[in-house]
Homo-oligomer: A and B are copies of this chain.
Amino acid sequence: MLSKKTKYGLKALTYLASQKNKQPVQIAEISKNENISQKFLESILLTLRKTGFLGSKKGKGGGYYLIKQPSEIPMTSVIRVLEGPIAMVPCVSLNFYEKCNDCPDEKKCAVNKLMLQIRDSNLEVYRRTTLADLL
């Protein structure tokens, strides 16, 4: 299952991407329009800022805004930041590889074989899709 964190994060990103001008948008506005708990959204936007997707402005008229163009934000990086590894098992992960301790030979492992294909097909989708494609 997709976590709510990722779901909300994606919705917030598209909300910001669909803004005509580049004025900062307040958390409260996004929260209200996308039906997201404001406090929860707060922490999500915070991680998106820390990971270089968003900029923020404090004080009156402040809020969050996209740093890059939507077409320059691939889903691979969004998913990795919000959801974690794209692979469903660590032994087929590109960025978070870990050996299974119960598995003597990865190349003979059925789970590895299957999940390698799943990873590849998911990666293909995430790589070719940018935030701009979701508007």
Contacts and interface: CB of A to CB of B under 8 A. Distances in A.
Interface string A1-37: 1100001001101100000000000000000001110
Given A110-B11, A117-B129, A102 B34 contact: yes
Given A102-B36, A121-B121, A121-B125, A75 B10 contact: no
Chain A, interface size category, equals 20 to 34
A10 B89 contact: no
A134 B11 CA distance: 37
Would you call the interface of chain A mostly helix, strand, loop, or mixed? Answer: helix
A30 to B, nearest CB: 13
A124 interface: yes
A58 to B, nearest CB: 27
A54 interface: no
Q: Which among A13, A88, A118, A134 has the highest number of chain B CB atoms within 10 Å?
A: A118
Contact of A110 (B1, B117, B121, B134): B134
